[in-house]
A and B are shown apart, each in its own frame.
Chain A
Amino acid sequence: MAKQQLLLIGHGMVGQRYLESLVAQGGREHFDITVLCAESLPAYDRVGLTSYFSGKTADDLSLVPEGFFAEHDITLKLNTKADVIDRGARTVTTNTGETLNYDKLVLATGSYPFVPPIPGNDRDNCFVYRTIDDLDAMIAASKDGKVGTVVGGGLLGLEAAKALHDLGLQTHVVEFAPRLMAVQVDDFGGGLLKDKIQELGVTVHTSTGTKDIVDGETCKHRMNFGEDNYLETDVIVFSAGIRPQDELARACELELGERGGVVVNNHCVTSDDSIYAIGEVALWEGRIFGLVAPGYQMAEIAAEHLMGKQEKQFLGADMSTKLKLMGVDVASIGDAHGNTPGSRSTVFMDQTVGIYKKAVISECGKKLLGAVLVGDANDYGNLLQLCLNEMDLPGDPAALVAPVSDGAPLLGADALPDTAQICSCNNVSKGDLCAAIDDGAMTVGDLKSCTKASATCGGCSALVKQVLDSELEKRGVEVNNHLCEHFPYSRQEIYHLVRVGQITTFDELLEKHGSGEGCDICKPTAASVLASCWNDYVLNKPHAGLQDTNDYFLGNLQRDGTYSVVPRVAGGEITPDKLIVLGEVAKKYDLYTKITGGQRVDLFGARVEQLPDIWRTLVDAGFETGHAYGKSLRTVKSCVGSTWCRYGVKDSVGTAIQVEERYKGLRSPHKIKMAVSGCTRECAEAQSKDVGVIATEKGWNLYVCGNGGMRPRHADLFASDLTDEQLIKTVDRFLMFYIKTADRLQRTSVWLENLEGGLDYLKQVILDDSLGIGAELEAEMAHVIDTYQCEWKTTIEDDEALKRFKHFVNDDSADDNLKYVRERGQRRPAFEHERIELVEEA
């Protein structure tokens, strides 16, 4: 059977979801699919648009998996707008002059921003907030302006205000209604929201209408509000609601609503049964749904209907929302305004901390009908479930909004029925999560990838975790963090056992607290803990067999069994003479030489028996080991700072060297990287490090728990304007607390994410000494620093230790299996196919 032609007009979030859903159901077997997209970019995350201003790129926002169109053989026409639909001929004519046939047509044209009919609304630098192109235009205009104004104080208007604020403009919001977010929140909530947003530096004008926009005196425009009231501004963004983009449908006489919108039935079919409409262009029971979750629902229902499945129907959608506006949590659930006859409200408000909560209760006092949360929306998930599932309230209705002293959840995930919708963006129920857990999902990450729960807005992630924990517990899965089969303890517990029991060897630890003979997990962990606690020479006999080969040979094992050599170059500062020594050593032993990301030099290809000679030369020239082989402090990167730089505020190189010298050799749960920048230009990239220090006019700003690598994380600002002394003291405590409490191979970033209480808790412990362990942490660090030794210096002076640097115990020769090829002027180990050639040649 010949394939039918399917034409999709509009490639936004809902359009893309439609394609994915159709492809997943095998729709490609029956249809040739063509997509018309009026924008220059394929579908992107319009909900996350504001993050474009805080550094996300169009690529980050893209919703289309790489290769999606090619893989499924779907034709996407960008910059192509449908001009005319001819329903009789079943054709669509585009702005490029092309005429396309269709058997089935899907309208996913979305909506357009409503611009109030104010004289002057078409002046230069007047924008709407809808597309990435709009944002680019706003960014360009803001470069020459000082003041920016948003017309409309709804959800999207406040997003736009944040964008203008982030662009560095003095920002105003002009709202015609007496409060912000008039649809979602009430007068009290709106008032509190206004206060909070003004605190952030945005001026809010409520009950204010604009009469006209004319030339300004101090700025580009003047917005006249009536009488003598006016506002001067350079940029204006209209965000006064949306209207369905339905002119195509209007022109071809599909049935429309009185105020626009293409009328659809429960399967999203329009008055022409060859044409569907989904998303914000569709009008169902007289309503437009301006949120993405209902749009996704429509996309899936329409795709199923096209494939001949009729079970699922669109029956309206919950319009509850939770979002963070300029850092302020705002949520609205169900009947937020208490419009239900007989309903009563219970309210909690604390203006001192800026929290407002209202619960709308049914006449019988047993059901939650709606809620408004401003300033603290942690209860959103619980309240939404109570409301959507029409569950009986667990107790006194006032408890729903009263501050909870012990932080216990109002409602356990356990109490929810399987039908409870946990993730509304992706329509994932508790039952779906349970099924995934039955299939082996063990972490929130697993659930996210197999059900898409919390993959869109993330608002439900806490609830997803609660469900996971309670379900795992029910299934008798004990979630343990035991190190390995030999020790029923976490690394943190091992650390305490070692310290409290004054244990100094692995054998003693195994005998007292473990079983079996140990393994390649617990032995290096114990070695690291013993080194953190007592800082013994790692090559001492009792520790010898515990070390990973890198620690055993004090080098980094490479793929052919040779090692790399990395001497310490503190702060990346090196004299020409020392640089020449490195060059001479590399030349003498024919070592492949590369500059590392940590501002030092890595010399590859040293055989075990060469290591002592190499290091003797290096130590004689004043080098120390760089600990590149250890789970320990690696480097402290620096920019040149005030030493040379004309912008440098402080001596970043000097501080980097001081810090590196202080913490060098410190053994830790994972490697530690640091950096010091001499000014806020941040050339040392300190915010991607475990410990990052940035100079300001007033002192040092300290950032913690960042990292690059597989899962990059920006460091968090931990303390500001520290003196040199305060800086060192804080870092001492921070590092020692990390070493004491982190799990094996847990970088500071993951450690922080798992630390109960998070950054605030960490600040209390380190800065306010809430546990009273500050002095102890500092003393323990002082011990480690006092007992530092360069392991290579000690090794080359110790005949016993040198014995191990042989490839054969019964022969002084080298491993004869090593084969190299030369590439770009240096040698590297031969790959397997090259080895065969090399052997044949020989």
Chain B
Amino acid sequence: MNSSVAVQWKAVCKLDDVLPGTGVGVRLPGRQAALFRTSDGSLYALDNRDPFSQANVLSRGILGSMGDKRVVASPIYKQHFDLETGQCLEDEAVSLTVYPVQVEGDLIKLAVPA
């Protein structure tokens, strides 16, 4: 995220609320995010809106890897999105917003534009 844009860290849930290897939906002001926890404990957050179906479902996608990229697969039409960059692997023109994630104690926080 561009450093010139002011961000605000928003606590969204506890670490235990997200099972390893799964994702959850997060309500942010005016938007929805998908928060993922991989089986090794890393956390990522992207837009929850699937740009191919316009449905808010990416949090329900299956996590995995393609080559050296960590990805989530859309549950609707199965396109893959890079968890680090939000880039769609099947369509160069499509990418999702990435939300930085941090953990404080057992709280998970997402960075959202202020």
**Interface of chain B residues 55 through 112 with chain A (CB within 8 A):** 55-57, 60-67, 70-71, 73, 75-76, 78, 80
Q: B55–A559 contact, CB under 8 A?
A: yes
Stretch of A292-300, A541-549, A717-725, A727-735 contacting B (4+ beta carbons < 8 Å): A541-549
B54 at the interface (CB under 8 A from A): yes
A520 at the interface (CB under 8 A from B): yes
| Alpha-carbon separation in the docked complex, A552 to B57 (Å) | 13
Q: B75–A517 contact, CB under 8 A?
A: no
| Alpha-carbon separation in the docked complex, A546 to B20 (Å) | 11
A577 at the interface (CB under 8 A from B): no
Q: B13–A549 contact, CB under 8 A?
A: no
**Interface of chain B residues 10 through 59 with chain A (CB within 8 A):** 12-13, 17-22, 24-27, 32, 35, 38-39, 49, 53-57
Q: A545–B25 contact, CB under 8 A?
A: no
Q: A517–B38 contact, CB under 8 A?
A: yes
| Alpha-carbon separation in the docked complex, A817 to B30 (Å) | 11
- CB-contact partner of B62 in A548, A803, A817, under 8 A: A548
Q: B62–A524 contact, CB under 8 A?
A: yes
- CB-contact partner of B24 in A516, A517, A520, A809, under 8 A: A809
A813 at the interface (CB under 8 A from B): yes
Q: For A520, A813, A815, which residue has the most chain B Cβ atoms within 10 angstroms?
A: A520
Q: B75–A832 contact, CB under 8 A?
A: no
A519 at the interface (CB under 8 A from B): yes
- CB-contact partner of A832 in B54, B62, B73, under 8 A: B54
Tell me, rounded to whole Å, the shortest Cβ–Cβ distance linking B12 to chain A: 5
Tell me, rounded to whole Å, the shortest Cβ–Cβ distance linking A5 to chain B: 52
Q: A517–B13 contact, CB under 8 A?
A: no
Q: B19–A541 contact, CB under 8 A?
A: yes
Q: B64–A519 contact, CB under 8 A?
A: yes
Q: B76–A557 contact, CB under 8 A?
A: yes
Q: For A541, A561, A813, which residue has the most chain B Cβ atoms within 10 angstroms?
A: A561
Q: A518–B17 contact, CB under 8 A?
A: no
Q: B53–A809 contact, CB under 8 A?
A: no
Tell me, rounded to whole Å, the shortest Cβ–Cβ distance linking B84 to chain A: 13
| Alpha-carbon separation in the docked complex, A808 to B23 (Å) | 11
Q: B39–A561 contact, CB under 8 A?
A: no
Q: A811–B27 contact, CB under 8 A?
A: yes
Q: B57–A809 contact, CB under 8 A?
A: no
**What residues of chain B lie closer than 8 Å to A804, measured between beta carbons?**
19, 22, 24
| Alpha-carbon separation in the docked complex, A809 to B101 (Å) | 15
- CB-contact partner of B39 in A517, A560, A803, A835, under 8 A: A517
Tell me, rounded to whole Å, the shortest Cβ–Cβ distance linking B69 to chain A: 10
**What residues of chain B lie closer than 8 Å to A549, measured between beta carbons?**
57, 60-62, 75
Q: B64–A561 contact, CB under 8 A?
A: no
Instruction: State whether A808 and B76 are in contact (beta carbons under 8 Å apart), knowing that A557-B57, A559-B55 are contacts in the complex.
Output: no
Q: A519–B62 contact, CB under 8 A?
A: yes
A807 at the interface (CB under 8 A from B): yes
- CB-contact partner of B63 in A517, A808, A811, under 8 A: A517
| Alpha-carbon separation in the docked complex, A649 to B75 (Å) | 46
Q: A523–B67 contact, CB under 8 A?
A: no
A661 at the interface (CB under 8 A from B): no
Instruction: State whether A809 and B17 are in contact (beta carbons under 8 Å apart), knowing that A517-B38, A560-B55, A832-B54 are contacts in the complex.
Output: yes
Instruction: State whether A808 and B26 are in contact (beta carbons under 8 Å apart), knowing that A517-B70, A561-B56 are contacts in the complex.
Output: yes
Q: A523–B64 contact, CB under 8 A?
A: yes
Instruction: State whether A544 and B24 are in contact (beta carbons under 8 Å apart), knowing that A517-B63, A520-B61, A559-B53 are contacts in the complex.
Output: no
A553 at the interface (CB under 8 A from B): yes
| Alpha-carbon separation in the docked complex, A800 to B31 (Å) | 27
Q: A545–B19 contact, CB under 8 A?
A: yes
Q: B62–A544 contact, CB under 8 A?
A: no
Q: B65–A519 contact, CB under 8 A?
A: yes
| Alpha-carbon separation in the docked complex, A485 to B64 (Å) | 11
Q: A815–B26 contact, CB under 8 A?
A: no
Q: Nearest CB to that of A521 among chain B residues?
A: B64
Q: A520–B73 contact, CB under 8 A?
A: yes
**What residues of chain A lie closer than 8 Å to B19, measured between beta carbons?**
541, 544-545, 804
A507 at the interface (CB under 8 A from B): yes
A810 at the interface (CB under 8 A from B): yes
Q: A817–B56 contact, CB under 8 A?
A: yes
**What residues of chain A lie closer than 8 Å to B53, measured between beta carbons?**
559-561
Q: Nearest CB to that of A550 among chain B residues?
A: B75
Q: A815–B62 contact, CB under 8 A?
A: no
Q: A809–B18 contact, CB under 8 A?
A: yes
- CB-contact partner of A517 in B26, B35, B64, B76, under 8 A: B64
**What residues of chain B lie closer than 8 Å to A516, measured between beta carbons?**
64-65
Q: A809–B35 contact, CB under 8 A?
A: yes
| Alpha-carbon separation in the docked complex, A549 to B55 (Å) | 14
| Alpha-carbon separation in the docked complex, A558 to B56 (Å) | 12
| Alpha-carbon separation in the docked complex, A561 to B73 (Å) | 14
Q: B13–A810 contact, CB under 8 A?
A: yes
**Interface of chain A residues 494 through 544 with chain B (CB within 8 A):** 507, 516-520, 522-524, 541, 544
Q: Nearest CB to that of A527 among chain B residues?
A: B62
Instruction: State whether A519 and B71 are in contact (beta carbons under 8 Å apart), knowing that A545-B22, A557-B57, A810-B13 are contacts in the complex.
Output: yes
**What residues of chain A lie closer than 8 Å to B27, measured between beta carbons?**
808, 810-811, 813
| Alpha-carbon separation in the docked complex, A571 to B26 (Å) | 42
**What residues of chain B lie closer than 8 Å to A810, measured between beta carbons?**
12-13, 26-27
**What residues of chain B lie closer than 8 Å to A561, measured between beta carbons?**
53, 55-57, 76
| Alpha-carbon separation in the docked complex, A523 to B61 (Å) | 12
**Interface of chain A residues 467 through 494 with chain B (CB within 8 A):** 485-486
Q: B73–A519 contact, CB under 8 A?
A: yes
Q: B21–A544 contact, CB under 8 A?
A: yes
Q: For B35, B38, B65, B71, which residue has the most chain A Cβ atoms within 10 angstroms?
A: B65
**What residues of chain A lie closer than 8 Å to B60, measured between beta carbons?**
549, 552-553, 557
| Alpha-carbon separation in the docked complex, A561 to B57 (Å) | 6
Q: A523–B56 contact, CB under 8 A?
A: no
**What residues of chain B lie closer than 8 Å to A560, measured between beta carbons?**
53, 55
| Alpha-carbon separation in the docked complex, A384 to B20 (Å) | 63
Tell me, rounded to whole Å, the shortest Cβ–Cβ distance linking B8 to chain A: 15
Tell me, rounded to whole Å, the shortest Cβ–Cβ distance linking B41 to chain A: 12
Q: Mark A807-828, 1 if CB is under 8 A from B, else 0.
A: 1111101010100000000000
Q: A485–B67 contact, CB under 8 A?
A: yes
16 pairs across A/B with beta carbons < 8 Å? A485-B67, A486-B64, A516-B64, A516-B65, A519-B66, A519-B71, A520-B62, A541-B19, A544-B21, A548-B75, A553-B60, A808-B24, A815-B25, A815-B32, A817-B54, A817-B56
**7 interchain residue pairs of minimum CB distance:** A545-B21, A519-B64, A561-B55, A520-B73, A517-B65, A809-B24, A549-B75
- Seen from chain B, the residues whose Cβ lies within 8 Å of a Cβ on chain A are 12-13, 17-22, 24-27, 32, 35, 38-39, 49, 53-57, 60-67, 70-71, 73, 75-76, 78, 80
- Seen from chain A, the residues whose Cβ lies within 8 Å of a Cβ on chain B are 485-486, 507, 516-520, 522-524, 541, 544-549, 552-553, 557, 559-561, 803-804, 806-811, 813, 815, 817, 832, 835
Apart from A545-B22, A807-B25, A808-B32, what are 4 other A-B pairs with CB-CB below 8 Å?
A523-B62, A560-B53, A808-B27, A815-B56
